[in-house]
Amino acid sequence: MTQRETWTSRVGFILAAVGSAVGLGNIWRFPYMSAENGGAAFLVVYLIAAALIGLPAILAEFVVGRETKKNVVDAFRNLGGPAAALIGVLGLFTGFWLLSYYSVVGGWVIQYMTGSLTGAYFGGPEAYFGQISEGTGTILFHAIFMVVTIGIVAAGVEKGIEVGTKIMVPSIAILMIGMAAWAFTLDGAGAGYEYFLSPDFSVIAENYQSIIPDAVGQALFSLSLGMGAMVTYASYLDGDDNLLSDGISITVLNTFVGVLAGFVVFPLLFAQNIDPGDAGAGAVFVTLAQAFAELPAGRIIGFVFFLVLLIAALSSAISLLEVVVSYFVDNFDVSRPILTVGIGTVVFLLGVPSALSIDTFTMFDMIANNILLPLGVVLTILFVGWIYGGGAVAELRRGLGSTSGFGPVWLWHIRTVVFLAVLGTLALSIMTFMSA
């Protein structure tokens, strides 16, 4: 068997992890979650959740990956035996499941990108969404998205993922900053910032039961936690870098892109007098598309916006596929390109029902977000906190240098605060799922 690949540099690892984290979650989900939870109030709770829950949880995945240098199944098995390996198996399953419909959204984004240039949705974004989100055309674009994802992953960790994310992540940042600067010139900018940035703390006080779990859930989803993506990426680390500082860089960059998305989306909506609270999950594809249709430079701005969304979705999709591919590459003596094409084809087929029916799509999304991912996070935290425990601290401390005293503090924090927060989020997610 050939030698296991590693990142060629620390920046390579950080950018790959940021690429995984920055995705539809930041640009599509984050603004509409904010809008549903009272705008700025949500931002405040989200920032706290990212720092207190997201960052410690990403470190838990990192130590598992870096210590074992194995795919998600073998990593957990090495540290905790066959029972722990089941956490990894759940991760593989979630990888197939999530990517199958994530790729369908990727296909929608391609159709909106081209539709911006031709003005295809300008007559009626809602009708356009209905048209492109289900049917044989949707399957075709889902296939195109999967082919590109497969192409990058097949090229390998260094030549595919690392090189790819080194181009993609800076492009996302630059284009988003450019769009935010443009949004600043819109008439609605002031009202948009006001809505996004000045929190009404009474909203938090009155709605904390829904705001807190939504913010925690968003922080976990956005950091790609709960299915071994970060375990897998950290397994390609070699050496003892400071995982805490890498984790902080990744969390900050990821949050930065989410906030930038707010700086683009809210001025646009307010410029067109669209109430962000009405937008819901259709925010990007219907409401924002509406704004593009009505703006003078709408075609080009719309194109750039959906291009960024596409790049972000792609750099996340490769991490989902890599979780599964990594397991097969480690365990079977078959070449990576062949395995990647095989696994990618299975993912494509699993996504076909979601491409044919938006109701199936919604069901896949609910099961992933409300059950699979929060369950994966809870099990990971439980395992790392209470079973791997001291070993996890020792692994984290390698590279912490003078801040190594953080190790034990981190352990108690994930055993208590993080564990309770993710358990509460899981319980509420399951209740939401049952009542849906």
Per CB under 6 A, the list member of 46, 62, 145, 221 interacting with ligand TRP is 221
Helix (H, G, I), strand (E, B), or coil: what is residue 130? Answer: helix
- The least CB distance from residue 7 to ligand TRP, in Å, is 18
Between CA 265 and CA 170 the distance in angstroms is 20
3-state secondary structure string across 364-380: HHHHHHHHHHHHHHHHH
Between CA 89 and CA 84 the distance in angstroms is 9
Q: Does 428 bind ligand TRP (CB under 6 A)?
A: no
Q: Given the rule CB under 6 A, which of 59-67, 157-165, 219-227, 348-356 is the region that contacts ligand TRP?
A: 219-227
Between CA 76 and CA 82 the distance in angstroms is 8
Q: Does 226 bind ligand TRP (CB under 6 A)?
A: yes
- The least CB distance from residue 425 to ligand TRP, in Å, is 14
Please work out the total of residues on this chain that contact ligand TRP, with binding judged by CB under 6 A. Answer: 16
Q: Does 24 bind ligand TRP (CB under 6 A)?
A: yes
Between CA 264 and CA 332 the distance in angstroms is 46
Q: Which is nearer to ligand TRP, 43 or 274 (CB)?
A: 43
- The per-residue DSSP string of 97-147 comes to HHHHHHHHHHHHHHHHHHHHHHTTTTT-HHHHHHHHSSSHHHHHHHHHHHH
Q: Given the rule CB under 6 A, which of 11-19, 241-249, 312-320, 400-408 is the region that contacts ligand TRP?
A: 312-320
- The least CB distance from residue 424 to ligand TRP, in Å, is 19
Taking residue 356's Cβ as centre, other Cβ atoms within 10 Å add up to: 17
Is the distance from CB of 15 to CB of 165 less than 8 angstroms? yes
- The least CB distance from residue 95 to ligand TRP, in Å, is 8
Separate counts of helices (H) and strands (E) for the chain:
22, 0
- The least CB distance from residue 294 to ligand TRP, in Å, is 28
Q: Which is nearer to ligand TRP, 237 or 318 (CB)?
A: 318
Cα 314 versus chain centre, distance: 11
Instruction: At 196, list the tokens.
Output: 């996004």
Q: Does 319 bind ligand TRP (CB under 6 A)?
A: yes
Between CA 196 and CA 189 the distance in angstroms is 10
Site for ligand TRP in 25-64 (CB under 6 A): 25-26
Q: Which is nearer to ligand TRP, 21 or 289 (CB)?
A: 21
Q: Does 222 bind ligand TRP (CB under 6 A)?
A: yes
Per CB under 6 A, the list member of 92, 150, 169, 227 interacting with ligand TRP is 227
Q: Does 426 bind ligand TRP (CB under 6 A)?
A: no
Residue showing tokens 């991760």:
91
Give the list of residues 6+ apart from residue 365 with CB closer than 8 angstroms, or none. Answer: 101
Per CB under 6 A, the list member of 373, 392, 396, 422 interacting with ligand TRP is 373
- The least CB distance from residue 189 to ligand TRP, in Å, is 25
C-alpha neighbours within 13 Å on the C-beta side of residue 404: 12
Is the distance from CB of 345 to CB of 390 less than 8 angstroms? no
Q: Does 374 bind ligand TRP (CB under 6 A)?
A: no
Q: Which is nearer to ligand TRP, 23 or 31 (CB)?
A: 23
Binding site for ligand TRP (CB under 6 A): 20-21, 23-26, 221-222, 224, 226-227, 229, 316, 319-320, 373
